[in-house]
Amino acid sequence: MPDVEEVVAPVATPSHSNKSGHDDRGGKKYAHGATG
C-alpha cells in the first residue's frame, strides 16, 4: 500500500510542472518568489 502512495507522490510533481508550462510566466514568478 505505501508503495502506491510513493508512486502517487512523484506523479504529483510532474503535474505541477505541467501547470507551470501552461503559465511559464506565472510559474517562473512563483519559483522566483520561493527562491527569495
Predicted pLDDT at 36: 45
Determine the pLDDT at residue 11: 55
- What's the average pLDDT block by block, 10 residues per block, for the chain (36 residues)? 58 52 52 50
pLDDT of residue 12: 53
**d(C-alpha 19, C-alpha 14), whole Å:** 9
C-alpha–C-alpha distance, residues 25 and 9, integer Å: 25
Q: Is the dihedral of CA 27, 21, 19, 9 positive or negative?
A: negative
Q: Please tell me the number of Cα atoms within 13 Å of 30 on its side-chain side.
A: 10
pTM over 0.75: no
